[in-house]
Chain A
Amino acid sequence: ELKVEQNPLFLSMQEGKNYTIYCNYSTTSDRLYWYRQDPGKSLESLFVLLSNGAVKQEGRLMASLDTKARLSTLHITAAVHDLSATYFCAVDIKGGSEKLVFGKGTKLTVNP
């Protein structure tokens, strides 16, 4: 059974600071997603990481994937209040019984 673990689950940080969210998964997969969810809203796709060593960046967010370590990171640079949201990683196993398996999510609060 595929397990996806995120940490931390809660993150409170000050504007301007840097931090990293970690996503570990238990079974071989070559495709990992990061989503953002604002309170009461749906999921917004941030990044799709397709292969080992993949790195994607958008604004203050950068995601990377290490398939050998079964680890993805979401790095936040110089956080701003608008980044406050819950961030989910999700893993897709081709041919698996589940379409996507999600982590529990990391609730990020950026304080002024």
Chain B
Amino acid sequence: KAGVTQTPRYLIKTRGQQVTLSCSPISGHRSVSWYQQTPGQGLQFLFEYFSETQRNKGNFPGRFSGRQFSNSRSEMNVSTLELGDSALYLCASSLEAGGWETQYFGPGTRLLVL
């Protein structure tokens, strides 16, 4: 079974631009979560989607948004990029949401904001 895939793997943007990242979960998984990893803050939860609905949201500004499609694929968008948004963005999928399912992580998208 294929794992979680994320595209693109690397991205360079400039301040003020916006970016969209994509995540395809493991086949059959319906929950997708997004995390930001930086050297300073570590791994931080962004949001979780299940059945095209956002279930949980971490403590991030409104510039960070996401959505999930009917095939469970998810996208996250960051508008008006700031230097501090440079990070590794990880997507994780699990079978269900609300329960305690193990999450499987994708390879991540490394975003550099100049």
Instruction: Please list the residues of chain A having a beta carbon within 8 angstroms of any beta carbon in chain B.
Output: 31, 33, 35, 41-45, 48, 50, 88, 90, 92, 94-105
- Interface residues of chain B, those whose CB is within 8 Å of chain A, are 33, 35, 42-45, 48, 56-58, 90, 92, 98-100, 102-108
Q: Are A102 and B43 in contact (CB under 8 A)?
A: yes
Q: In the complex, which of the residues B42, B44, B105 contacts A43, with contact meaning CB atoms closer than 8 Å?
A: B105
* Contact call B107/A99, Cβ cutoff below 8 A: no
How many residue pairs, one in A and one in B, have C-beta atoms under 8 Å apart? 53
Shortest beta-carbon contacts, A-B, top 6: A102-B43, A43-B105, A98-B45, A42-B105, A99-B33, A31-B100
Q: Which of B35, B92, B100 has the most CB of A within 10 A?
A: B100
Please tell me if the beta carbons of B48 and A48 are within 8 angstroms of each other in the complex: no
Whole-angstrom CA separation of A101 from B48 in the bound complex: 13
Looking at chain B's contact residues, the main secondary structure is strand
The interface residues of chain B lying within 8 Å CB-to-CB of A96 are 56
Q: Chain B nearest CB: distance from A92 CB in Å? A: 6
Further pairs besides A33-B102, A102-B35: 11, Cβ < 8 Å? A41-B107, A42-B107, A43-B90, A48-B102, A90-B43, A94-B100, A98-B45, A99-B33, A99-B48, A99-B56, A99-B92
Q: Are A98 and B58 in contact (CB-based, < 8 A)?
A: yes
Q: B104 near A45 (CB under 8 angstroms)?
A: yes
Given contact pairs A42-B90, A105-B42, A100 touches B104 in the complex (Cβ within 8 A): no
With A and B bound together, what is the CA distance between A97 and B48 in angstroms?
10
Are A94 and B105 CB-contacts (below 8 A) given A101-B45, A102-B42? no
Q: Which residue of B lies closest to A33 (CB)?
A: B102
